[in-house]
Structure formats: C-alpha cells, structure tokens
Amino acid sequence: MFLKLNFLFVALSLLFSVKSHDLKAAGEFHPYHVGSVEINYNSKSKTFEITGRFFLDDLENGLTKKYGRPFHFNDEKYKAQLNEALKNYSSEYLRLKADNKFLKVNYIGYEEDSESVNVFLESETLTSPKKVEAAVSFLYNLFDDQINIVHIIVNGNRKSEKLVYPNRYLFQQF
C-alpha cells in the first residue's frame, strides 16, 4: 500500500512538472484529477500545518463553479477575491478532528506557479494527538474522478491514504 501511494505521489509530482501550456498546445489537458494534502503536526507550535497542492486550472475551475464567477491565478487583480474564496472553500472541503475534538482550521494563504497552487492552513493548538480524523473533498464539486492523496504526520510518523471520489473520510491512529 505504501509503495502504491509513493508511486502515485511521484506520478503526481511528474504531472505537476509538465508545463500547462505544453498540454494546451498538444490539445489536451492533464488526464488525471489529483491533488495532495499534507497534514503535519508541529510539536513546537502545537498545531497542524496543512498544505494542499492542486493543479492551478482545476482549482480555478472548482472555485468558478462553486462561486459562479471567474477566478484567475497569476493575475494580481484577483488576489483579494482568491484569498476570500480559498478561505471559504477550504473551510467547506477540509474538516479536521483530533482525539474526538473538531479543530478550528485557519486559512493562511496561497502560493502559485504556472502549473499548481499551494493552499496553506493551520489548526488551533492541541497537545500531541493520538487519533486524527479528516474529511478531505477538495475539487469533488468539479470532478467525479478526483483523487486526493492525504499525508498525516505526527511526531515524524507519516501515514498516507488515497481518497477517491466520493470517499472523503480517513482515520489514523498514532
């Protein structure tokens, strides 16, 4: 299982490295709808630091479909609208629970390049969790073949799982 997830993560990395304009020039877009979410417990800050990585065009289209207006990364005039939309979108499509307690997750910001977008979130503080539950459904509003690879890391112990639409729930014991 771990080898399959590693292979999928490498494949995801390769897909992100393909230039989107090369795909468009070839008359085709990426054939897979894959994102990754890393939920990493930071023992110093006592928070989960969360990074979601998605294809830029998929996230633009997901936000446009959700909110009924266009969004464009790599265009400074959309930055405020994107921050507000990503804050709301993340709060709806990611839920986090540790040791049977729902955690407040705050939107921090995003970073983009020509192919992908990283969305940064951070949980409220908590002591070292033993049980982590998450509901991750990024881009499920757009694709019925969306795959989200989720990595949960607590005290250096990494557990990964592949969530395929419509499955959005995972549970890990540490």
Q: Which of 91, 30, 38, 37 is nearest to 61 (CA)?
A: 30
Angle at CA of residue 35, ends 4 and 153, nearest 5°: 65
Contact status, residue 138 vs residue 147, Cβ threshold 8 Å: no
pLDDT reported for residue 114: 86
The structure tokens 């304009």 sit at 21
Structure-model confidence comparison of residues 20 and 101, the more confident one = 101
Given a cut of 60, whether residue 57 has pLDDT beyond it is yes
Structure confidence by residue, pLDDT tens digits, 1-41: 444 444 444 444 444 443 333 333 333 467 889 999 999 99
Structure-model confidence comparison of residues 137 and 6, the more confident one = 137
| pTM of the entire predicted model | 0.83
Cis upstream peptide for 166 (omega within 30°)? yes
